[in-house]
Amino acid sequence: MEDSLCHDCGVVATPEHIVLRCKETEEIAKEKRKTLEGREITDVLRNPKDVTVLRELANKIAAYHRMKFLPGGGESRWCLKS
Ligand SMILES: [Zn+2]
C-alpha cells in the first residue's frame, strides 16, 4: 500500500501526475499545462522560465488540495476511505 491511486483517473498518483496530468485539477491547471504540454519533465527543469511556470502550477494545485482537507473545505475524495 505505498502507492496511492488517484480517485479521478485510476492511476498511481505521482507528483507528476497530480501536477501535470490529473483531470481533477484540469480546470485550474489548464492554462499552465498548455505551456508545458508535450515537454519532457527533464527538459522543463533545465529551463528557468519553465521551472517558474511549473512551480506556480504546483503551488496552485497544492493550495487546491490543501483547501479540500480543511473542515468544510469542499469534497473529501482525497481523504482515506476505509
Ligand atoms: Zn488524477
The three-state DSSP-derived secondary structure of 7-72 is: CCCCCECCHHHHHHHCHHHHHHHHHHHHHHCCCCHHHHHHCHHHHHHHHHHHHHHHHHHHHHHCCC
Taking the centre of ligand 1 as the mean of its atom positions, its distance from the CA of residue 23, in whole angstroms, is: 5
Domain count, the chain: 1
Domain encompassing residue 68: 1-82
Residues with CB under 5 A from ligand 1 (ion): 6, 8-9, 22
Q: Give the three-class secondary structure for 76.
A: coil
pTM for the model stands at: 0.74
CA 62–ligand 1 middle distance (angstroms): 14
- Closest alpha carbon to 58 in 8, 7, 2, 17: 17
Q: How close is the Cα of 29 to the center of ligand 1, in Å?
A: 12
**Model confidence over 27-48: pLDDT tens digits?**
999 999 999 998 888 999 999 9
Lowest mean pLDDT among 1-5, 44-48, 52-56: 1-5
For position 41, what pLDDT does the model report?
85
Q: What confidence score (pLDDT) does residue 53 get?
A: 96
Q: Decide if 61 contacts 25 (C-beta within 8 A).
A: yes
* Unique residue bearing C-alpha cell 503551488: 59
Res 81: pLDDT:
47
Residue 5 in 3-state DSSP? strand
